[in-house]
Chain A
Amino acid sequence: MKQPLIELREVTKSYRKGDTTVTPLANLNLDVQQGDFLALMGPSGSGKTTLLNLVAGVDQPTSGSVIVAGSDIGLLSRSKLAKWRAHHVGYIFQMYHLVPVLTAYENVELPLLLHSMSRAQRRERVNLALEAVGLLDRHDHYPRQLSGGQEQRVAIARAIVADPVILVADEPTGDLDAASAEATLALLNRLNSEMQKTILMVTHDPKAAAAARRSIHLEKGAIVDAPEQVLVAS
């Protein structure tokens, strides 16, 4: 078997708050192969977002190792980690988190500002990403002029524009109506199957989980039943 793209070994994450320590993740092991589409499920507070943040290099483990795309997240400095994120990860949020004063185009362009690219090169990439999510015609709209589903698609365009290997999504359909949720899931599915993006998606919705290739359940910071390579027909 190939070296996994994401490799978590004995990962523990704890937060200190005054003199109490919260440990959302304890001694967790997880491998994710390149090209996988993994749904992360579990009750509120089980550590799903915490796990996602570790994989996305937004946070670092208290102990254990998180190796993603060949880099040990725990060993990188704050600024190195930022640069690493710019090149390897696209993050999709439940509440989209577009910058309200920038147009759809400018929002999608943001990650590219961190890469050495000419304006023309950026334009080409942004247009491709907007086209991939079917919103090229809305490029000059501001977030407030878009529906929730459209905002989320712009956010997905922003996540894929720099061509990262990994996409992480934290309840991407949590704020959407059924139709928009379905469209979003279909889009993620296409990104996985056609563009070979490895996707880690947190969700509460079994229907959403069904869209993924496999799903795992977290409970109190541990994986409870991780059926090995259970493929769900998509």
Chain B
Amino acid sequence: MILSLVHYAWRTMTRHKLRSALTIGGIATAMFLFCFIEGLQNGVRQATENEATQNVLIVYQKSRFCPATSLLPERYVPAIQRIDGVKSVVPVKVYVNNCRASLDTVTFLGVPPELVNTIKKIDLKSGSLGDFTGRRDAAIVGESLAARRGLKPGDRFQIGGFSVGIAGVFKSDTPGEDNVAFTHLEMLQRGKAVDSLGYVTQFEVAIDDPAKADAISEKIDEMFKSETVQTTTKSHKAFIASSTGDLMGMIRFTRFLGLLCVVLVLALTANTVFVMVQERVREHAVLQTIGFAGRHLFSMIIVESLLLALAGGIIGTAAAAAALHFGHFNLSAEGVNISFAFTPLVVAAGMAASAITGLLAGFVPALQASLISITEALRRS
């Protein structure tokens, strides 16, 4: 019976091919947007709720917000290292080719080469770590960045005043971090017109217990209070939230847009199903005359509605998957990267959203179809 219903529903969609195509196209477009937005939301979640960075603090120069203006003396490092609960301190110089929010930003993170594994568990897809530590102008680049710029080990890569040789390509479990390149700290410090040897943008401090984050942050800032260069220390999550502040506001707003997409799908599907039911009142009466009960007609219309919504949902989700996979989109603000994370979760959200809207959109027309008066409907001709 169910199979026949699906078969019937499928045939029904082919009655007005253009109309069905337009509706499915509309649903697909809305679901494409929805998945794009879900992917972004998901990226934000991954960037801020990353387990691995729960016990990481970021030390920045006080009242500075752009990587280019935060200048912390490297000599602070040993002092921070001595604080109880601190496991490691890595000085990082951040170079961004574009300090504003952008979809195609390249971020260089200059670190002491021997410490690159401390700041991040490097999972090399190609190339070698030895090549990286051995050469002063070497860089290892994240997978997304490599894909976006077509880079592979052995290539040279130029950005701003820097030219680096690719020593390897790594994969990160956090999509945002697949968009950076690690370089030697010293190269970044020397390469600029102004020599900033001895100064870095930030310290990444690993601590042994996330519960101590506030206490240790306070201690660090307290320690340099009377120095000329003062610090602001935040948890990794708070740091990302503050440096991407405006961006986050925008991203939060997109959540609302995602919801609008679902409403749009609902309206579009409901409208089409309504019309489909209206023009088949007599056919439904004939089916009832044959012996189909109200509940059969109800399920039939629901299946038709579901089919429409799911067809659009699958196309839209697939298109979004393709766009995000091949586009390697990456939002960046003040050196922090947020990637569109298209995960199975997003696929599930897209499918669930279209299925639920399909069910909801079909409900009222299905009820209408199941409650028609057979004799009155048969008299219409």
Residues of A within 8 A of B (CB): 50, 53, 56, 58-59, 78-79, 82-83, 85-87, 89, 91, 93, 95, 97, 99-102, 110-111, 113-114, 158, 162
Contact = CB atoms under 8 A, between A and B. Distances in A.
Interface residues of B, number: 24
Contact of A59 (B1, B287, B374): B374
A86 B291 contact: yes
A79 B294 contact: yes
A100 B283 CA distance: 9
A58 to B, nearest CB: 5
A85 B291 contact: yes
Contact of B4 (A58, A101, A113): A113
Nearest to A85: B291
Given A79-B295, A83-B293, A99-B283, A58 B14 contact: no
A23 to B, nearest CB: 15
Interface of B: 1, 4, 8, 11-12, 14-15, 282-283, 286-296, 374-375, 378, 381
Contacts of B374: 53, 58-59
A188 to B, nearest CB: 18
B290 A79 contact: no
A199 B15 CA distance: 34
A45 to B, nearest CB: 12
Given A58-B374, A58-B375, A113-B1, A101 B12 contact: yes
Given A97-B282, A99-B283, A101-B11, A91 B289 contact: yes
Contacts of A113: 1, 4
Nearest to A115: B291
Contact of B15 (A78, A85, A86, A101): A101
B294 A85 contact: no
Contacts of A83: 291, 293
Contacts of A86: 290-292
Nearest to B295: A79
17 contacts: A58-B288, A58-B375, A78-B293, A78-B294, A82-B288, A82-B291, A85-B289, A86-B292, A97-B282, A99-B283, A99-B286, A101-B14, A110-B290, A113-B1, A114-B290, A158-B290, A162-B291
A87 B4 CA distance: 19
Residue from B283, B292, B296 whose CB has the most chain A CB atoms within 10 Å: B292
Contact of A111 (B15, B282, B290, B375): B290
B8 A102 contact: yes
Overall SS of chain B's interface: helix
A58 B289 contact: yes
B292 A114 contact: yes
Contact of A97 (B11, B286, B295): B286
Residue from A59, A95, A97 whose CB has the most chain B CB atoms within 10 Å: A97
B225 to A, nearest CB: 79
Given A53-B375, A79-B295, A85 B8 contact: no
A78 to B, nearest CB: 6
A13 to B, nearest CB: 10
Contact of B293 (A58, A82, A99, A102): A82
Nearest to A53: B375
Contacts of A79: 293-295
B288 to A, nearest CB: 7
Contacts of B289: 56, 58, 85, 91
A62 to B, nearest CB: 13
B291 to A, nearest CB: 3
Nearest to A109: B4
Contacts of A100: 15
Contacts of B381: 95
Contacts of B292: 82, 86, 114
B374 to A, nearest CB: 5
A82 B294 contact: yes
A102 B300 CA distance: 15
Contacts of B296: 82, 114
A18 B39 CA distance: 56
B11 A111 contact: no
Given A101-B12, A101-B14, A102-B8, A114 B291 contact: yes
Given A58-B374, A101-B15, A114-B290, 6 more contacts: A58-B288, A58-B378, A59-B375, A82-B292, A91-B290, A93-B286
Contacts of B282: 97
Contacts of A53: 374-375, 378
Contacts of B1: 113
